[in-house]
Amino acid sequence: MKPYLKRAWAEISLSNLRNNVNVINEMIGENTEIMAVVKADAYGHGEHQVSRCLWESGVKYFAVSNLDEAIAVRNSCPEAEILILGYTPPEYGQTLADNNIIQGIVSSEYAHELVKYTSKSIRCHVKIDTGMGRIGLKYDTPSECAEEILRLSECEKLSIEGIYTHFAVADCDDSENIEYTDKQEKYILDVYSELVSRGLKLRHIHFANSATISYRNSTKSTLARAGIIMYGLCPNYPMEINKRLKSVMALKAVISHVKAVEKGDSISYGRTFIAPEDMVVATVTIGYADGYSRLLSSKGEILVHGKRCAIIGRVCMDQLMIDVTNVQAKAGDIVTLIGKDGDDEITADELASICSTIGYEVVCGISKRVPRIFHEGEE
C-alpha cells in the first residue's frame, strides 16, 4: 500500500483491531464487558474510525480523557456508553447531561460543584483512589469511603451508576507489587460490598485495565478497560501479552535519495556519525516532527525489503539516514519503521525500549501530519 503523494503514513489494520476485540472478550469472560479506551485519538490510531470499528464489533462502552474526546465519540457512535475518566470543568455539567455522557467523579467537592451547572441529572461513576495517588475519593477505610458515596447518592442531580479505580503496578510480577495490587483490589471490592449492604446496588464496579486483563484478570470487574492491548501492544514490555493479539498500527515512509559515502564522511547534524568504511546511505522521508523520536539516532533500525538497516547519525525534523550497504535500495522504495516486512517485525514496544519509554508514548506521539490510512488487511 502506497498512499498517493504521502511521504510518511500510518497504516491502521481494522481487521487486526476486530481480532483483538475477539481475543480480549475470550480473556475477560462472559460476565465482563469491554470498555474500549479511545482517549488521545485512540492512542494515535484515529478516534473516529477506531470507535466506529469497535462499535460495529460489539463494543458498547468507551472511555476517554476529556469532554472534547467524549463529544467526538458521541458523534461517531450516537448510542455508545461513554465515560470521562478524568476531570471536566464543572461549568460544562449541562453539556454532560445533554449528551448523555458519564462523568468520573474525582472528589466530593467536585461533585457538588458540578451539579450547580445543570438542570438535569448527570450520570456518573465515582473514582476511588486505592493507591494510584492521582484523583479520586481517598479514605482510610472502605466503610468511610462507602459512607461518602452514600452521601453523594442523595444528591438528586447525580445518578451514580458505578465505582472504579486504577491499579498502579498490575503489570509487575514481583511479590511486593502483587501484594500492593491485591490490597487495591480488596479495598474497592470492600467498598462495593459495603454499599450493597447499605442498600446501594450499583451497575458497575471496574478496575481491570490492560495490565489487569493480561496478567491477573478478575471476573469481579464488570467492565474491562482495554487500552493499550486493544492496539496490540504491551502494558509493560517485555512482559508478554496474549500472542493472538495483533499490532494495529504500522508506520511507513519512502526512500528519497541513495548515495555512496566514503570512509571518513560525516552524516547529519553534529557529525555524530563518521563512516568507518565506504558505505551506501539512504535518506528516508520521516523525522521527529512526524513523531519518530530523535532518541533513535544511531540506535534504531528500519526494515527495507525485509532486512534491518541501521539509522546512522541524528534523526532530523523531516528526514533520517540509514545504512543500506547490504540492501538493494532505490529512491521510491517503501520502508517500515513500525510493523512487519517479510519475516521480521519492528514493534512500537521495541522502539520504546530503545528510548527508555513505553509503547504508549510511541504510538500516541505519531504526529497529526502523518495521515492514518485505514484498511482491512492484516499487518
Please give the C-alpha separations between residue 371 and each of 9, 43, 52, 294, 368, in angstroms, as whole numbers.
5, 14, 18, 20, 7
DSSP at 206: E
| Burial of 276 (C-beta count, 10 Å sphere; 0-12/13-18/19+) | exposed
Catalytic residue among 2, 183, 269, 368: 269
Q: CA end-to-end span of the chain, whole Å? A: 11
Catalytic residue among 39, 157, 246, 252: 39
Cell triple for 29? 469472560
Omega prior to 238 cis, within 30 of 0? yes
CA 335, CA 242: separation in Å to the nearest integer?
28
Q: Contact, 247 vs 277, CB < 8 A?
A: no
CA 373, CA 2: separation in Å to the nearest integer?
10
Nearest in space to 127 (alpha carbons), one of 136, 119, 118: 136
Question: What is the DSSP secondary-structure string of 132-147?
Answer: S-SSSB--SSHHHHHH
The verdict on whether 269 is a catalytic residue reads yes
Please give the C-alpha separations between residue 142 and each of 85, 101, 109, 189, 205, in angstroms, as whole numbers.
21, 27, 19, 9, 14
Nearest in space to 318 (alpha carbons), one of 247, 236, 271, 253: 253
The catalytic site residues sit at 39, 269
